[in-house]
Structure 1
Amino acid sequence: MAEITNSNTIINPIPFPYSQLLAAMVPLLLLLCLLYSKSRRVYLVDFSCYLPPAHLRVSTANFIEHFEICGDHEREAIDFQTKMTKKSGIGCEACLPLSMHQIPPDKSLRSTQEETEAIIFTVVKDLLSKQRVNPKNIDIVVTNCSIFCPTPSIGAMIINRFGFRSNVKSISLSGMGCSAGLVAISLAKDLLCVRGNSLALVLSMESVTPNGYSGRIKSMLLPNTLFRMGGVAILLSNKKQDKVKSKYKLRYLIRTHMGSDDQSYESVFQQTDDTGKVGVSLSRSLINVAANTLKTNLTELGPSVLPLSEQLMYAWSMMNGKTWNTTRKKEMYVPNFKKAFEHFCIHAGGRAVIDAVEERLKLSKEDAEASRMTLHRFGNTSSSSVWYELSYLEAKGRVRKGDRVWQIAFGSGFKCNSAVWECISDLDPKTRNAWSDSIHLYPVQIQDVADH
């Protein structure tokens, strides 16, 4: 006879093994956290800036004399460039490629390739030899040169010259202006985050040879007086074992693009004049555009780097600004970025750019010293300028282990990019770099030239 079960009997459900599930998930979560932290690790092993040979130096007098002899410019254009060159803050040590020393200047494709190869081959060879890196161990190559975009690419030039592997990941960026160096770092960082145990080689430069403007539009003549020869090679790694020999660790990289605004988009613009001559125009609104773009960039960067006290003071200033009587203008509080960074590398785009950033951020002359000295010694080397500045600080022995360095780059588009590096090694100021031969002469006093 079947057993009858009392309907009032309570049957206990099988207990769910929460503790066992939690115990099983903890190792998985720890593994995921470990993998995520590893994917975010990007070390700057070393970098090498190009030092042009002494025979390529161009003093202001030689620079202007060259224009006069060539006869490409009207007298008014020569006088304007003379005035702007004297005000530029660029000294007699800055260099132009050999093609620009010729009369008339040789802007041919061959000369442009020769300038490009002279820079990139030199810095890559120097960097790889210093670190004893076999070219076949490079996994990623990212290059940037704004206006010169040859076929095969600049990346292909390097791969061919140094014999990189056939499966190396190579990307060449163009048309991105003076901030492209940090764009290239950003791209390399993203690739390193998804590719384990890899080395990335980043090259930043601008070719001066094809960019000389021979017309009479003043906004297009300005670049003639600012840009000089230069470039840099940077070695990045996400390998744990490379931490010991690396100089820096990448902490933050913030990119801001204001291209949706017409004034920003047109502030640095390659175009032709009414005679068909090609040049890059720098608008009168450029400094204001740069200031507004920097402000947007800082809005995103600030919360990550500033101490809470500075963030609260800024927030309080903003609240007061919104409620303040419109007839009385209340000045906004500018956070003290010296509490976040020990060193500043402001793009050496020109004296006006450096002065504007220094004023906006309430920095001292010493804070902007590396930028001004780089402009004086090397001129505006476009996307590589922030690396010459970091090289200056290293040669001066100012970067110590634990210090934070802020690189600020501006470029066409209009863009403002920020990179924050933390020094993780004891750096030897006697290590040879582009400044070694002349660092004892700096800083120099740069004389102000009044407007006429």
Structure 2
Amino acid sequence: MVVNKYKLRSNIKSINLGGMGCSAGVIAIDLAKDLLQVHKNTYALVVSTENISRNAYAGDNKSMIVANCLFRLGGAAILLSNKSEDRRRSKYKLLHTVRTHTGADDKSFRCVQQEDDDKGKTGISLTKDITSVAGRTITKNIATLGPLRAIDHFCIHAGGRALIDELEKSLGLSPVDVEPSRSTLHRFGNTSSSSIWYELAYTEAKGRMKKGNKAWQIALGSGFKCNSAVWVALRDVNPSVNSPWEHCIDKYPVKLDL
């Protein structure tokens, strides 16, 4: 669709990472990084989106209805370049990407699955193990990231309130650290792999992203997978034109009666 819409050249490499779950955005960035290391003087466009229409569940199994309540449509596009002249106008430099997969463990493998219920209706099943699985998987990811962690801003996948609560506790984060994730979940729902970009935009809209700051994007998805990207701001970053937070940033963070 993108190639057709913008009449791109026939030698454009179009790579589909559909089906990779909520962690696909960072996997796409990792792939783009590898391609840019091989093809010099090049741009890479990463388009990250959620489309719930294929997986809307029409049954009455509570563990499968949850996905209908959480997921919302959303999308983001990220332009990457390896051209030296683009540095002066770029927002960020990619420092690290780390990919962790714990699918060999049955609890990890089965905590998020597409399956049929007892009436033959297809949906996404979420088990109660998802928060503990996420905690263990992200711990392994951090072990790889290890000494690279001097992080100023956190963009944790807005998978759900319980998930954010668990990661806030297990990582020892402060309320302001998880504010972008909570605000994104409240305003936009779970937009899957694009949620980490809504969160980065939130930090920009709040005027918090200063030159030299490091932002850690943490994407979690079925499999179970945890993928990380660490970026450093090349300048003080102002909100983008037509930011998703343009008309509502002053309303956040909101205080909820729990």
Report the TM-score, using the length of structure 2 for normalisation: 0.98
Partner of 2:253, secondary structure, is: coil
Of 234, 248, 251, the match for 2:92: 248
In 2, Cα distance between equivalents of 1:410 and 1:208: 17
State the one-letter code of the partner of 2:157: H
- Bigger CA radius of gyration: 1
Question: Deviation at 1:431?
Answer: 4.2
Q: Over aligned residues, Cα RMSD in angstroms?
A: 1.0
Q: Which residue of 2 aligns with 1:441?
A: 251
Match in the other structure for 1:168: 12
State the partner residue of 1:369. Answer: 179
State the 1:288 CA deviation.
0.9
Higher RCO structure (Cα 8 Å, ≥6 apart): 2
**1:304-319 matched pairs, under 5 angstroms:** 305-306=148-149
2: CA distance between counterparts of 1:184 and 1:220? 27
Name the count of aligned residue pairs: 258
- Equivalent of 2:132, from 281, 288, 295? 288
Deviations 1:67-111 (A, max 9, x none): xxxxxxxxxxxxxxxxxxxxxxxxxxxxxxxxxxxxxxxxxxxxx
Q: Are the counterparts in 1 of residues 98 and 227 from structure 2 also a CA contact under 8 Å? A: yes
Partner of 2:53: 209
Point out where structure 2 has 5 or more consecutive residues left out of the alignment: none
Correspondences of 1:7-406 after superposition (within 5 Å): 157-303=1-147, 305-306=148-149, 340-406=150-216
Aligned equivalents of 2:240, 2:118: Cα separation in 1: 52
Distance (whole Å) between structure 1 residues aligned to residue 154 and residue 16 of structure 2: 28
Report the secondary structure of 2:181's partner residue.
helix
Match in the other structure for 1:83: none
Identity of aligned residues (%): 57
| One-letter identity of the residue aligned with 1:299 | A
TM-score when scaled to structure 1?
0.56
Amino acid at match of 2:170: R
**Quick one: distance in 2 between partners of 1:271 and 1:185?**
29
* SS of corresponding position for 1:173: coil
Q: Unaligned stretches of 5+ in structure 1?
A: 1-156, 307-339
Q: State the SS of the aligned residue for 1:398.
A: coil
User: For 1:190 and 1:215, how far apart are their aligned partners in 2?
Assistant: 42
Question: Per-residue deviation at 1:428?
Answer: 2.3
Assess if the C-alpha contact under 8 Å between 1:208 and 1:228 holds in 2.
yes
Cα drift, residue 447 of structure 1? 2.1
List per-residue Cα deviations over 1:291-320 (Å, max 9, x = no partner): 1101110110013x14xxxxxxxxxxxxxx
Runs of 4+, deviation exceeding 6 Å: none
Amino acid at match of 2:137: T
